[in-house]
Amino acid sequence: MNFHVLLIVATIIGRSSQLTLQDCTSEGQARRPEYTDIAVTCGTDSISLAIQACPIVYTGYNMSLMIVNHKSDAACRGTLDLSASPPVLRFNFPLNNTHACGSVFRTTSAAGTGVFSDFSNIQTVNVSGIVRAFDPTTGTITYNAEMKYYYSCAYPLEYLINNTQIDVSASSISLNDNNGSFISTLRLELFSDSAYTTPLVMPQNGIELRTKVYVEVKATNLTTQYNVLLDRCYASISALPTNSTFFNLFVPCEVEKLTTMNQNGISQTARFSFPAFRFMEQQNETVSTYYLHCITRLCEVATCSGFMACNNRRRRSTDDEPADFSHLHTITSPEIITQENAITGQTKTHNANSSAGLGAAVGVLAFVCIVALCIAAVFYKKLIRKW
């Protein structure tokens, strides 16, 4: 009963701003509804709907009678946009399962494919609902057609952040994806200190070997429903690591002995560090240049601990070749550069000292031989005189 009263009051208040058939004079606007009358925008923190208004009026309803998921409160009510052509009724609600105007959140799991083929549990969250016309008719029959507009947004919760050449402090990319994507919220930054406050600036000749590199992957403008979990990070000589030499910094259930995992899966920021190294393949070059790649999972806060357990994650062999990344979204920054010739001068100095010592030894031996010959000659002359 209260729901009907709210609708009647909303209808009376909104009549002054309602659309009429006289406003739908453009060709093709006054018509029956079609499947294409609704546009859905799957944002990183909210979902937006735009429904053409003229078919609603043509069917016999006004804007106040269009209700999303049976929620009649003001925050979930549509707003008529007469500046659009054709006019549309707009809905916008946060991407949060407690304030999403009755939207249904359903998380599904499936075995990974392609670049994620080593993971047995890849999750996708589907957010769906319905905008339905409320028929105020009372009695046995009605002449108003039933109107329903369904919406759905599917968000994968596993992402690859790759092609990251370590030379700058941060990099991010914004994407436009019809199905919705959270990758535009992810940012990778490099720091030179354990407090993650000083951005790492790469010198022209590269950083010294064993210099600590601090890596942070952070989600910004993302609903608080998800945390950031790094599944795998590795370095490769090529920006596109297909058929390239690579080195795993960590994989599921195994962390390289010199890699330190500082924070992972407990918030919207993941952090780890590793000492700068070089690839033996580049030993004849002045500097060693390589790129950092991270496979990043967004996990629901309540389920992150399960993904960090080894019995739920398949361990990857360090000898496996990385898969093809040609169809994946990437975040890119310049390369990691390490110095190759830091100890070459010491090696040459050591060899020169060895040569000098050998020359001195040979000289002393020659001097001893000459003295011995002289003594032998003296004794020989004395013997001849006695005879």
Question: What is the CATH class of 158-339?
Answer: mainly beta
Q: Tell me 333's DSSP state.
A: B
Cα torsion through 24, 28, 31, 37, rounded to 10: -90
**The predicted structure's pLDDT at residue 17:** 53
Among 229, 154, 146, 145, CA closest to 186: 229
The region of weakest confidence among 147-156, 197-206, 268-277, 303-312 is 303-312
Label the pairing between strands 122-133 and 66-68.
antiparallel
329: left (phi over 0), alpha (psi -120 to 50) or beta: beta
* Most confident of the ranges 303-317, 330-344, 371-385: 303-317
153 bridge partner residues: 127
Residue in 145, 29, 13 with CA at minimum distance from that of residue 88: 29
* Residue ranges with strand state E in the chain: 38-42, 46-52, 66-68, 79-81, 88-94, 104-110, 122-133, 148-156, 158-165, 170-171, 186-191, 212-219, 226-236, 246-251, 254-255, 260-263, 269-275, 287-300, 336-339
pLDDT 10s digits, 121-138: 899 999 999 999 988 888
CB 46 within 8 A of CB 153: no
CA gyration radius, the chain:
36
Architecture of domain 2-154: Sandwich (2.60)
Domains of the chain, by residue range, sit at 2-154, 158-339
Distance separating alpha carbons of residues 298 and 227, to the nearest angstrom? 6
Closest CA to 286 of 340, 347, 211, 237: 340
- How far apart, in whole angstroms, are the C-alpha atoms of residue 341 and residue 278? 11
Q: Does the fold of domain 158-339 match that of domain 2-154?
A: yes
Judged by average pLDDT, the poorest of 254-258, 306-310, 353-357 is 353-357
Mean pLDDT, rounded, of the chain: 77
Contact 106, 50 (CB under 8 A): no
Encode pLDDT of 3-21 as tens digits: 443 443 344 334 335 777 7
pLDDT greater at residue 240 or residue 318:
240
- Tens digits of residue pLDDT in 245-291: 888 998 888 899 999 999 999 999 999 999 988 888 887 788 888 88
Instruction: Answer for the pair 166, 335: CB distance below 8 angstroms, yes or no.
Output: yes
Query: Over the stretch 22-71, which tens digit does the pLDDT of each residue have?
Result: 778 777 788 888 888 999 999 999 999 999 999 898 888 888 899 999 99
What stretches of the chain show up as alpha helix (H) in DSSP? 2-14, 54-59, 304-308, 344-386
How far apart CA 207 and CA 24 sit, in angstroms, is: 66
Q: Which residue has the higher pLDDT, 281 or 92?
A: 92
C-alpha to C-alpha distance for 347 and 244, rounded to whole angstroms: 31
3-state secondary structure (DSSP) of residue 350: helix
Q: Are 272 and 216 in contact (CB under 8 A)?
A: no
- pLDDT at 111 > cutoff 70: yes
CB-CB contact of 183 with 172 (8 Å): no
How far is the C-alpha of 137 from the C-alpha of 128, rounded, in Å? 28
